[in-house]
Amino acid sequence: MRWEELDQQPCSLARTLSVIGDRWTLVILRDCFLGVRRFDDFEARLGITRHILSDRLKKLHDAGVLEKRPYQERPRREEYRLTAKGRDLYPVILSLVHWGDRHMVDENGPPVRHRHRNCGCYTRAVLTCSECGQELRPQDVEVEESPAWAGRVMPRKRTRAPE
């Protein structure tokens, strides 16, 4: 599988990675969720070259993850806003942050905390079943072919939980 052909793979993860699967794109998305919207602000916060930043923003825009909105007419200037498709990436970003908070921190601990506005408590990313609300762990989930995939080659069904 070639990197530039990920968007053509019959795998949802591969197709997703074709849009958000590089380090600059993920930190741009992180900053979008922190309220950064303007090109110069992304550039200043990230220390990224204009060329790479422009390329990643264009890719996110073309994929429908970000939209451009004018904030000034003369000269015309636009800012980048998350679309509904982009906001749907919030659990992904929050889960990656949580993983980093558990496995990549130094002796000072996590650099930020997430407080749930509704209850006021600090929170962390937890994946739950959409039907019963229980926490989802790898050993609790079976992967099956969907009707859309029936008849195509599928990896063997996992019979044991990953170790």
pLDDT of residue 33: 96
- Looking at the chain, the domain(s) classified CATH 1.10.10.10 span 1-88
pLDDT digits (tens, 9 = 90+) for 40-78: 999 999 999 999 999 999 999 999 999 999 999 999 999
Packing angle, helices 39-46 and 23-33, rounded to 10: 120
* pTM for this predicted structure: 0.83
According to the CATH classification, is domain 1-88 in 1.10.10.10?
Answer: yes
Q: What is the DSSP string of 44-109?
A: HHH---HHHHHHHHHHHHHTTSEEEEEEETTTTEEEEEE-HHHHTTHHHHHHHHHHHHHHS--TT-
